[in-house]
Each structure stands twice: as C-alpha cells, then as structure tokens.
Amino acid sequence: MRPRALAAALLAVGTLAACGGSGGDGKQTVTMWIYPIIADQAKHQAFWDGQVKAFESANPNVDVKVEIYPWAKRDEALSTAIAGNKAPDVVYLIPDQLPKYVKTLEPVDSYLADKAGYRPNALQAVTVDGKAMGAPVLMSANPLVCNQKAFDAAGIKDFPKTWEDVLRLAPQFKAKGVDVTNYWADPAATLNQSFYPLLWQAGGDVFTADGKASAFGGPEGVRALTFLKQLADGGYVEKDLLTGLPKFEQTRTAQNKVACTWQQLPADVESFWGKENIKVVPPLTGAKQVAYGTVGSLSMLKASKNKEAAGKWISFATGAEPSKAFNLASGFFSPRTTTGALYAADPVQSEVEKTLDLTTAGPLHDKARDVMGVLAPEIQAALIGKKTPEQALADAAKAADALLGR
C-alpha cells in the first residue's frame, strides 16, 4: 500500500461526474473506484485496462472508467463523494464497510454471475439483511503459519492443532529460546486478526445474533482471553508486542524466534524465514476450527444513473475468468469453488487455499469498528495484568452496549 494525500483523492473526486451518466455519443458511462490490490500500480492499471477493453468490446454502448485510489483515508474520500453526489457507480468494499454504506448501496443479487459457484462463506460475508450488497471478487485467509526453522531449533516435529497443543508445546519452545506464538495487543492492531479468531474458535461471537448487544463478554470470550493470558503470563509470547507496535523487522517473529502465528501471512514472513521454512497448517481448534479471512467485493451505489450498465460491468468483472486472473495477479484467492485451485503448484499458497472454507470475515455490523475500539484496550489491560479477563471483558461489554444504545 502506498498512501497518497487525502487532498489529492478529494481533488480527483471533484473531477468525476456524479455516478456515471451518458456521454455526447449516447454511450453510458460507468465509473469504478478500486484500491492498490495489485501492489505494482502500473501492473494494476494495466490489468483493469485490459478488462475494460474486453468488456467494452462486448458492450460497445458502455464506457468504463476505473480509478485506482489510495488505501489511506478511503472511507473519508468515499463518504465525501457520496455526500456531494459525486460517488462512483461501482466501488470496491470489504465486509466491515458494507453496513456503514448499506443505505447508499444497491443490492447486486441479480448481477452475480454463477451465484451457485460461490463459496457459502464468501456470499455470507457480503450479505446484509438477506441481500448481497457486493459481488465477491477475492478472498484471503489467515490460517496458522509455522516456521520450520524454529521447530527444528526446539527439536519439535508436530505442529499444533489445538489450544491444548499450544499450551503443551509452549514450555518446550521457551526452553530453546523460542516463543510458541506472537500476539499484537496494542489497541491499534485489528482484532480481526488477533483476538477475534480465538473468540470464534471458543464458539463465541462479537455480537448477539440480532446485533442488538455485545456477546464477547460471555464464557467463550473469557476462555479465549484466559488462553491468551496464560501465554502472556508464562512468557510464551513477545512482551514488547503487548504494549507497542515495533517495526516488524525488530520482532522475534522476524528473527526466527516464533514458532507459529495466525497474525501474519506467508508473504509477511517469507523474506525473514525463507519460503522453504514456511509451513501452513489449518487454523487452531478450540470448540471450533475457524480463521479470519476477508472478502473483497464490487458494490453498486444506489445513486448510479446507469444501474443496468453498472450491473453488467460487475457481473463481468467478478466473473470466473476475470476474477481468476485478478486473484493470480494480486496473490489473493478465488471466492468461487468453480475456478478450481489457483495455486496447486505453489507449496505455500496451495495450503492457504485449502483453508478458505474455514474462514469468516467477522461481524457485518455498523458499529463493528467502534466496538473494536472499546474492546482492544481492555484485552491489553488483561494481558499486562491490570485486570482479570472477566473484569476486562465486562468493562468492554458495558462500553460496547452503550454504543449499541443499550
């Protein structure tokens, strides 16, 4: 990600026509906003130029304009554009953004190409009140990523499968100067990749089923936080990560002193561990086996003046072949089962790919980010010994329920 200044983004917003329109030649115009999913900007632009050319060849009455915006301040830029009636027709969104914009989005169920071919969890991740508010175009997964070098140093052969395995192996790794795992407890770190996977594995969730109250303070949440506290109290995770956000190259993970992590992807550690030492295994099991994984989707703005044309573009761009090409170019995974395995020849990516059906994108709730903001500091307080897990979660639940109007 290479963020640019918000001012530049807003200047660009002002140059766009509001939600498409028709040109002087009678063609319909569809504008799409997307972000640097393919890291190389030139390659990213070239990819979409090729897709636009193919689409326009089959739809000569439609002009598609793809605008690549920075990740930084993307919500501010989009919200400003919507408020000023200058929003695009189509925009790339991830699940926790959908509830925020749902009132300004058009359901895209009728534009989903081969709906039956999607993974059920991919569709679930874009569905709000029974309607698909985005067409899935990519998936990610955060399974358990282990360092063979660390296992060899500790003389341990078997990778952990359960929480019990982690606790059993932790003292053995510690005796060899290795942490069994890592945990980023600074409130700035997203809970989607840190605490929530454990909460889900314990059988719990962030909100109640009706979304009207928090649920993380129940016995499942206490079990998850108690498990983490056992790791922290035993000195089995890096102490500095509990209170700050050091540069990754300064962490014990980068120094080959961490056995396994669910908070880093293979790409994060490859230059430090070496690809040959990366061993991807399924996510840990508590009461359930589950991992975090996001779903990227293309959503249509309700204010679009060319919904039919925008729908055709969404259907095309998220179709099997274009999305497959996009996933391969960006290193992500297909939200479809019908595309088959994309990375069968890659020993690391192929193992990540096998865990896609075990992932969840987390709660689709308009207060999800706000609740994360009150929960994260309380988790940290428990891990550094200022509160018990029970008290920390009770205090967080009280603050979260106040945000929910309870």
Q: Which pLDDT score is estimated for 98?
A: 96
Q: What is the pTM of this model?
A: 0.91
Q: What is the mean pLDDT of each run of 10 residues along the chain (406 residues)?
A: 34 43 75 96 97 98 97 95 96 96 96 92 96 98 98 96 98 98 96 97 97 97 98 98 96 98 97 98 98 98 97 96 96 95 97 98 94 98 98 98 94
Q: Which pLDDT score is estimated for 168?
A: 98
H-type helices in 21-64, by residue range? 41-58
Q: Which pLDDT score is estimated for 13?
A: 36
Provide the pairing of β-strand 144-147 with 278-281.
antiparallel
- Is residue 404 within 8 Å of residue 212, measured between CB atoms? yes
Q: Which pLDDT score is estimated for 6?
A: 31
- Helix, strand counts (H, E) of the chain: 15, 14
Distance between CA 37 and CA 34 in Å, rounded? 8
Domains parsed from the chain with CATH numbers: 6-138+296-342 (3.40.190.10), 144-292+367-403 (3.40.190.10)
Residue 90, classified by CB atoms within 10 Å of its CB into exposed (0-12), middle (13-18) or buried (19+), is: buried
Classified as helix, coil or strand, 138 is strand
C-alpha closest to that of 51 among 64, 69, 37, 70: 64
Classified as helix, coil or strand, 287 is coil
Tokens of 129: 């009140």
Tokens of 87: 């929003």
Classified as helix, coil or strand, 374 is helix
